[in-house]
Amino acid sequence: MPIWGRSILLKLENISAHYGDVQALRNVSIEIKEGQIVSMIGSNGAGKSTTLNTISGVLLCSSGIIEFIGRRIENLPPHQIVELGLVQIPEGRLLFPYMTVLENLELGAFTPKARKERGENLNVVFGLFPILKERKSQLAGTLSGGEQQMLAIARGLMAKPRLLMLDEPSLGLAPLLVKQVFATVREINAHGITVLLVEQNVFHSLSLADRAYVLENGGIVLEGGGRELLNNSQVREAYLGI
């Protein structure tokens, strides 16, 4: 289906957010259409994680509107947002270290809707990540970095997301694993799940993205198609200083 025909899944309009007295986001507006992969790039401290946390309801926005599937969600508590199908895979994975792989996955399917389809989802997830099936009784804290990332993604998938948000999934991973992670993201998207990807790894995230936003100091400074931005000299300057 051509892009202009798809519906808007998530919309942020002039979102501002504060950490105490410090303004972290200024008038951020983004739009994500169903089925897209949208990327948000920016240097450390630019506000990428803050944006995701505001969407997820972990951080309260001070002004602005967030709409998900046409419904206003900016004042909802985090657990309700997950129930609607908006799932975040946080930076640093944040697995439950003293619980097994299986328990982590089961917790991913905590919401009533997801719980019903738990069995099916487990199969899907084990199909995507066979190594997790092998290690299902192992404590999550003892997995390697790459396996932990896979588990974090799988855990997010267990919640039956319509929109999956990933916060720097390639962080701390060796180059080969990084490639794998992005391939997985592409595959998930192919299954019909819309993706919002926040990354420092510019090349991969822009190549993958249908649309991308560049964040700087809490505000959007550039937006456009993924490939388009890949060739944009401003982006190169921001990241290479040349």
Partner 1 sequence: MTSISEKITHDLFYPKFYFPLVLLVLLAILPTLPRNPFYEDLIVTSFFYGTLAAAWNLLGGFAGQISLGHTAFFGIGAYTSTLLYLKFALSPWLGMLAGACLSVLVAIGIGVPCFRLKSHFFALATIAFAEVLRFVASYWRELTQGGVGLLIPFKPEIENFMFRSKLPYAYIALALMLLMILVSYLIRNSRFGFYLISLREDQDAAESLGVKTSRCKLIALMISVFFTSIAGTFYAQYLLFIDPFTVFSLPFSIELALFTIIGGLGTVIGPILGAFLLTPLDVFLRGWLGGVSAGLNFIVYGVVLIVAVVYFPRGIAGWLRTWYEPFLRALPGAQRSLVKAKSVSVSASAATSEPSNPEKEEIQSPFFQVQSLNKRFGGLVAVRDVSFWVRRGEILGLLGPNGAGKTTIFNLITGFLPPDSGKVEFKGERITGLKPPHQVCLKHIGRTFQLVKPFKDMSVLENVMVGAFAQFKKAKETQQEAMKILDFIGLSRHSDSLASSLTTADRKRLELGRALATQPELLLLDEVVAGLNPRETEEIIGIIKAISNRGITLLMIEHVMKAVMTLSHRIIVLHHGEKIAEGIPAEISKDKRVIDAYLGEEYLA
Partner 2 sequence: MFITIAQLIINGLLLGGMYALISIGLTLIFGVLEIINFAHGEFLMLSMYGSYWLFQLYGVDPYLSLLIILPAFFLIGLAVQRVTIQPILNAPPLNQIFMTVGLSLVLQNVALFFWKADYRTVKTAYSAVTLKTSGLMISFPRLVAFFLAMGVIAGLLIFLKRTYTGKAIRALAQERRAAMLMGINVYRTYQIAFGIGIACVGAAGAMLIPVYYVFPTVGGLFVLIAFVVVVLGGYNSLTGALIGGLIIGVVEAFSGFFISPHLKEAIYFVIFILILLFRPTGLFGRA
Residues forming contacts to partner 1 in the complex (CB under 8 A) are 20-23, 43-46, 144-145, 168, 171-172, 174-175, 178, 200-204, 217-218, 237-242
Closest to 151 (Cα-Cα) out of 80, 86, 79, 92: 92
DSSP H or E run through 101 = helix 101-108
Q: Binding to partner 2 by residue 83, rule CB under 8 A?
A: yes
Residue 136 has φ and ψ, to the nearest 5°, of -65, -25
Count of alpha carbons within 13 angstroms of residue 187, beta-carbon side: 14
Instruction: With CB under 8 A as the rule, give the number of residues binding partner 2.
Output: 27
Q: Rule CB under 8 A: choose which of 88, 149, 184, 205 binds partner 2.
A: 88
CA torsion 66→105→206→167, rounded to 10°? 60
Chosen from partner 2, partner 1, none, partner binding at 87 (C-beta under 5 to 8 Å by type): partner 2
The two tokens of residue 198 are 């926040």
Close Cβ partners of 180 (under 8 Å, ≥ 6 residues apart): 146
Q: Using CB under 8 A, pick the residue from 94, 174, 183, 190 that binds partner 2.
A: 94
* Residue closer to partner 1, measured from CB, 8 or 171: 171
Q: Which residue has the tokens 């899907």?
A: 124
Q: Segment 23-62, which members bind partner 2 (CB under 8 A)?
A: 56, 58
Query: Nearer Cβ to partner 2, position 108 or 218?
Result: 108
Please report, as ranges, the residues that interact with partner 2 according to CB under 8 A.
Answer: 56, 58, 77-79, 82-83, 87-90, 94-99, 103, 106-108, 110-111, 114-115, 155, 159
